[in-house]
Structure 1
C-alpha cells in the first residue's frame, strides 16, 4: 500500500512537513482522509497531526455533534445528582424495612460522597490512557450494577457498600464532563455549555428528592424503588452513550489515526505526539493523585475558593439531610410533601443560572480592564446572598410562620450556591490553564469530603441546638467567608504573581 501514497515534502524551519494523501480509489475510506505528518530532526518517527479544520479533530466537530455529546454527558450528571439526594427521602421506610438506625442509613449518603471524592484521582488517569468514552461507558455500567445492588440489598451493610461503589462510578459524571466540554468547545464558546452543566448538576440534586418523596410515600414502592428508578435511568443513559457519544480526547483520536496509518502503510515510524515519551499508567496515577493535593494546600487561590465552595456544598447536603425532617416536625408534612419542598431549591438554581448569563455579558465587557477577576462580579453578590438565605431559612421555619417563607430562604441559598459553584469552576480553570484539571480535582476532593462529614452530625446538631440556631450558626460562618471573593477580586493578580506555579503556567501559555 505504501506504493499508492503520494508524498509532497515542503521544507519548513529545519523540519519537513509531509502531506500523505491516499489514491483516489481510497478517498471513500474514512480512515484514508488527508492527514498531516511532521518529520522531526530524528528520522525514526513521523508525527501524525491534525490538519487545520480536520473534521476528525474533536474541536472541529459539527455543532450538532458537539451539542449531542454535551447533552448526553450532562444527562449522566443529572442522573447521578438526583441519585445522591433522592436516597435521603427513603430513610424512614429503609429503617423500618431493614431494622437499621438513622445514623446507619445516613452512612449510605456519606459513603457515596467518599467514593465520589477519591475515585476521580484515579479515573482521570484512565481517561488519559484509554480515552473518555470507555470511562463513561464503564462508569455507567458500574453505576447501574451498584443501583441494582442497593435495590436488592437484604441488609443495611449491603446498602452502604453499594452506595460507596455507586459513588465511585458516579464521580465520572462530575469530573469528566468538564473535560469533555473543554475538548470540543473553544474557550470563547464554553460559557453556555458549562452553565448548563452546572445547572444540571444542581437541578438534579433538587429534582431527585421531589420525585423520591412521592415514590417513598407509595406503600407499594417505598425506598427500594428510588434505586430501581435510578437504575432504569442509568441504563437508558448507557444506551444513549453507547450510540451517541464519540471519543473527544484529541490525543487518543490521533493515536488511533496513527495506528490505522501504520496498519495501512506497514511503516511503523508513524506516531502520534502522545505516543512519544508518553508516561505509563502508574506515572499518570502518581501525578493525578498528588498534584491536586499539592495545589490545594500550596496555592492560596485554590485553597480559599475550595474552602468557600466546600462549606456551601456541605450546607447543601445538610439541607438534603434535614429538609424532610424539618418540614415534617414543624409543619406536619408527609414524605411526599417534604420532597416537594426541594422545588424551592430548583427555583434558586434557575435564578442562579439567569445571574450567570448576566455574568457572561459582564465578563466580555470588563475583561480588558479587570482581567481574570471579571469572572467574579456575581460571586461578590453570592457572598452576601449565601448567609442571607441561611438566616431567612433559620428564622422563618416556625409553626407561626407560613411554610413558603423558609422556602424563600432555601431559594436564595440555592441561587448563591449555584453562582459560587460556577464561579469557582471557571475562575480556577482560567487561573491555572493546563493545570486546571488538577486544581479542580483538588477542590472537588475537599468539597466532597466536607459534604460527606457534615450530614453525619446533622441530626445530633439539630437535636441539641434546634433548627433555628443550628442554621443561624451556618449563616454566621457564611458571613465570615464573605471576604473571600472580595479579596480575590481586588488582589487576585497580586496573589497569583507571588505563586511560582501560576507564574510558570502563565509564562508557558504566553510563549505558546
Structure 2
C-alpha cells in the first residue's frame, strides 16, 4: 500500500448528488452519478452496492483476507527456510557459509527496497494484477534457485524472489483496509502479523526435515516450497480486485462504452497524478518521515532491532542446537517451532489488547494501541537474556525454547503495534510511515546475519545474545513515552497534526450547527 494510494483516495472537491441522473442501461441499481462544475459526470457507489469492496459479505472478506495472508506465509517460509539447506548447498556448490548467508540477506534487501518502487503500481493498475505478476515472478525464482550451478545464481535468484515476494507483505495491509471498516481490522491485521512473524519459524521446520533426507536436500526444498506457492497462486483469482478506485474506473469505462457518453468518469481519473510522480513520492516520502518524524524513527529502530535479531536467530538457532546439544538437522529444524508458538501466544494475547483498545480509546485516543507494546518492551530483553543464558551445553535445551518463545511473543506484539499505531497516527500518510519502518526493518534484518557468524565466534553465543538483550533494554522507554506523551508529540508533527485537525473538524462542525439551531 503506497502513500499515493491513500492520498489520491481523498476527494479534492464536493460532488452534488443529482437524483435526476439515472444509471445507464445495463448498470442499474449500483451506481450513483454526481454532476460537478466541469463537463464530467462522476460515478460512485450506492450505499449498499455489492461491487463496493466494503460491502462484500463477511464470508467473502475472510476468503480474500485468508488468501492474502497465505501469500504472506509463503513469503515468510521461503525467506527463513533457505537457511536450513546450507550444509548440502555449501557442499554442492563448493562455496562458503558466508557466501550462502548472502542469499538470506539479499532476499531481505529486495523485500525492503523494491516496494518503494512497485507500490504505486497498484494505484495505476489495481491490486489483483500486482498480486498475479508478483506470484508468477516468485514462482519462477524457485526454478532459478533450484537449478543454479553457482552461488551467484542463487544470490541473484534470492534477491529477485525477495523483490517479488515483498507484495505478500506490503500490499496485504492495503487489501485489509480495502474491505474491512476501521473498527473491524483488528483481527485481520493480527492474522496478517501472525503469518508474517510465524512464517519465519515454520520455514526452517519444513526445510530441516527435507535437508535431513539425503535423497532430497536443498534443491528439493525449493521444489517443495514452489508447490506450496503454486497452490497460493491458484487461489489468487478468487480475491478479485479490492481497490475501490480501480473498480469505479472500470464501471465508468463500461458506462462510456455502453452509452457512448464520454462524460461519465470516476473522480480518481481526474485526481491521480502520473505514475512517475507516484513512484517519486513513494520513494522519497518514507525516507523523509524516517529522518524527520520521532514516532516513525523510534518505532523503526525498535522493530528493526527485533527483526534483525530474528534473522540472527534464523541463521544461528540450528547451529546452537546441533553444536551445543547434538541435535541432527531435522531436530534442529523442529526447534524453530518455538518461533511459531511464540507468535501464536502473541496472536492470542492480542485479543486482550483489542479489548483494552475499545475500552480506553475514548479517553486515550490512538495511544490505546500501545498497552500490549508496553509489556512487550519488557518481554523482549527477558527473552533474549534467557536464550543467551541457555546457550551452553550444561543448560537443558528447553531453556533455549523458552527464551525464543518469549522473544517471539514480544516481537509479534511489537510488529502489530507498529503497524496499528502508525496507521492511526498518520492517516493518509500511513503507508509512507509503514514503508519507512519496513525499509529500515528489512535492511537491518539483511545486515545482521552478515556479521552474526563472526560475532558469535568472538563473543560466543551466550554473550552475543546477552548483548542483544542489553540493546533491547535501551528500547524499553519507547512505548511508555508514546503512551503518556504521544498526543503532544503528534501535535508537533506536521503530518500527524493534519490527521488530528481533520478528526476535530467534524466535531467543530457539529458544535457550530447545534449553536445555530439554538
Q: Pick the TM interval, shorter chain.
A: over 0.9
Number of residue equivalences: 493
Which residue of structure 1 lines up, in the alignment, with residue 195 of structure 2? 200
Specify the SS of the correspondent of 1:53.
coil
Contact map agreement 2:15 2:35 (CA 8 A) in 1: no
Q: Which ranges in structure 1 are unaligned for 5 or more consecutive residues?
A: 1-12
> Post-superposition shift, 1:510?
4.0
In the TM superposition, structure 1's runs of 4+ consecutive aligned residues that sit over 6 Å from their partners are none
Contact map agreement 2:120 2:275 (CA 8 A) in 1: yes
Q: 2:34 aligns with which of 15, 38, 55?
A: 38
> What is the rounded CA distance, in whole Å, between the counterparts of 1:506 and 1:486 in structure 2?
21
Which residue of structure 2 lines up, in the alignment, with residue 456 of structure 1? 450
Which residue of structure 1 lines up, in the alignment, with residue 91 of structure 2? 96
Specify the SS of the correspondent of 1:59.
helix
Which residue of structure 1 lines up, in the alignment, with residue 51 of structure 2? 56
Which residue of structure 2 lines up, in the alignment, with residue 298 of structure 1? 292
- Cα gap change, 1:316 to 1:15, in 2 (>3 Å): closer
Task: Select the structure with the greater relative contact order (CA < 8 A; seq sep ≥ 6).
Answer: 2
Work out whether 1:189 is the aligned partner of 2:190.
no
> Post-superposition shift, 1:504?
1.7
> What is the rounded CA distance, in whole Å, between the counterparts of 2:15 and 2:406 in structure 1?
61
Which residue of structure 2 lines up, in the alignment, with residue 10 of structure 1? none
Contact map agreement 1:18 1:39 (CA 8 A) in 2: no
Work out whether 1:482 is the aligned partner of 2:476.
yes
- Cα gap change, 1:50 to 1:224, in 2 (>3 Å): same
- Cα gap change, 1:15 to 1:421, in 2 (>3 Å): closer
Specify the SS of the correspondent of 2:33.
strand
> What is the rounded CA distance, in whole Å, between the counterparts of 1:34 and 1:452 in structure 2?
48
> Post-superposition shift, 1:18?
4.4
Which residue of structure 2 lines up, in the alignment, with residue 308 of structure 1? 302
Which residue of structure 2 lines up, in the alignment, with residue 120 of structure 1? 115
- Cα gap change, 1:278 to 1:18, in 2 (>3 Å): farther
Cα deviation, 1:263-320, whole Å, max 9, x if unaligned, reads: 0110101110100142111011011111111111111001101100000000000000
Work out whether 1:329 is the aligned partner of 2:323.
yes
Q: 1:279 aligns with which of 273, 276, 285?
A: 273
Work out whether 1:212 is the aligned partner of 2:207.
yes
> What is the rounded CA distance, in whole Å, between the counterparts of 1:156 and 1:373 in structure 2?
47
Cα deviation, 1:76-123, whole Å, max 9, x if unaligned, reads: 000110000000000111000000111110010000011001111112
> Post-superposition shift, 1:508?
3.1
> Post-superposition shift, 1:453?
0.2
TM-score by length of 1: 0.94
- Cα gap change, 1:15 to 1:202, in 2 (>3 Å): closer
> What is the rounded CA distance, in whole Å, between the counterparts of 1:474 and 1:173 in structure 2?
29
Q: 2:417 aligns with which of 411, 418, 423?
A: 423
> What is the rounded CA distance, in whole Å, between the counterparts of 2:19 and 2:431 in structure 1?
34
Cα RMSD (Å): 1.3
Work out whether 1:73 is the aligned partner of 2:74.
no
